[in-house]
């Protein structure tokens, strides 16, 4: 794993991960990311946010709360149609209902229905368990580990790859684990920082670093953009 390898470039102009973090932190202030009233709600949100905007997830979670379904036991025992309709705003609601049930069955069987019990195991063990569940990939597993279990693991998403490849820090063809390891290597191992950094990346990607970027307004516009990273 190597940072973006491009010849004839003044590497002194490429910002460090901490410079990016400090710039975004000064611009946005504390993000408070990930929103959620409990570790279980955060885990459910991590599953529901797949392939949809967070605003849609908020609607689905509010519906689950309204119908008193935000509980692992109630999710697995409620009428399937009721569950599907409750999470319908998040999209792919039939598929996601199945994934929620599978996750809740796992949580009940292995950890008595409590995220807090799961969080007591080591990171590698929990991650392997989560990745063995249908519909949970690396990003969702790491969302749960970082935000619900308070484990120090960096979450990589599409915004991460886009922002840091455009600025020449990462190669755009790097794999998930390679990018994650790069962040682990160049940042302090700190749960709060990992949470904030991911939140800052999400906000920057959503507001500015889109597929068609708004570079002139972006807080990172003082750093060079590597044009062929688009």
Q: What is the pLDDT of residue 227?
A: 53
Asked if residue 99 lies in contact with residue 51, where contact means CB atoms within 8 angstroms, the answer is no
R_g of the chain, CA atoms, integer Å: 19
Helix (H, G, I), strand (E, B) or coil at 3: strand
Helix (H, G, I), strand (E, B) or coil at 110: helix
pTM value surpassing 0.85? yes
Q: What is the pLDDT of residue 96?
A: 98
Helix (H, G, I), strand (E, B) or coil at 222: coil
Asked if residue 153 lies in contact with residue 127, where contact means CB atoms within 8 angstroms, the answer is yes
Q: Which domains does the chain have, with CATH numbers?
A: 11-31+155-229 (1.10.1670.10), 39-148 (1.10.340.30)
Identify the bridge partners of residue 170 per DSSP, sorted by sequence position. Answer: 3
Instruction: Report d(CA 119, CA 22) in Å as an integer.
Output: 29
Instruction: Report d(CA 120, CA 118) in Å as an integer.
Output: 5
Cβ neighbours of residue 37 under 8 Å, at least 6 residues apart? none
What's CA 16's distance to the chain center, in Å? Answer: 21
Q: What is the pLDDT of residue 230?
A: 43
Residue ranges in the chain modelled with pLDDT below 70: 1-13, 227-230
Q: What is the pLDDT of residue 175?
A: 96
Instruction: Report d(CA 154, CA 184) in Å as an integer.
Output: 7
Asked if residue 30 lies in contact with residue 200, where contact means CB atoms within 8 angstroms, the answer is no
Helix spans in 87-190 (H): 93-111, 115-118, 123-131, 138-143, 158-166, 176-186
Instruction: Report d(CA 140, CA 127) in Å as an integer.
Output: 10
- Nearest alpha carbon to residue 104 among 155, 150, 143, 47: 47
């Amino acid at each position: 794993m190597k940072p973006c390898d491009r010849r004839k470039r003044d590497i002194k102009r490429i910002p460090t991960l901490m410079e990016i973090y400090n710039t975004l932190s000064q611009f946005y202030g504390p993000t408070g990311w990930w929103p959620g009233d409990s570790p279980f709600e955060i885990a459910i949100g991590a599953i529901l946010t797949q392939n949809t905007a967070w605003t849609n997830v908020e609607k689905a979670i509010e519906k689950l709360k309204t119908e008193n379904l935000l509980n692992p036991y109630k999710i697995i025992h409620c009428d399937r149609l009721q569950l599907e309709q409750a999470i319908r705003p998040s999209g792919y609601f039939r598929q996601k209902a199945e994934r929620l049930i599978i996750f809740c069955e796992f949580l009940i069987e292995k950890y008595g229905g409590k995220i807090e019990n799961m969080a007591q195991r080591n990171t590698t063990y929990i991650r392997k368990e989560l990745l063995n569940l249908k519909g949970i990939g690396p990003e969702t597993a790491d969302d749960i580990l970082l935000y619900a279990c308070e484990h120090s693991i960096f979450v990589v998403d599409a915004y991460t790859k886009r922002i840091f490849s455009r600025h020449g820090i990462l190669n755009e063809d790097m794999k998930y684990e390679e990018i994650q390891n790069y962040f682990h290597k160049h940042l302090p191992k700190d749960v709060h920082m990992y949470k904030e950094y991911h939140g800052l990346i999400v906000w920057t990607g959503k507001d500015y670093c889109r597929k068609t970027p708004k570079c002139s307004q972006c807080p990172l516009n003082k750093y060079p953009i590597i044009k062929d990273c688009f």
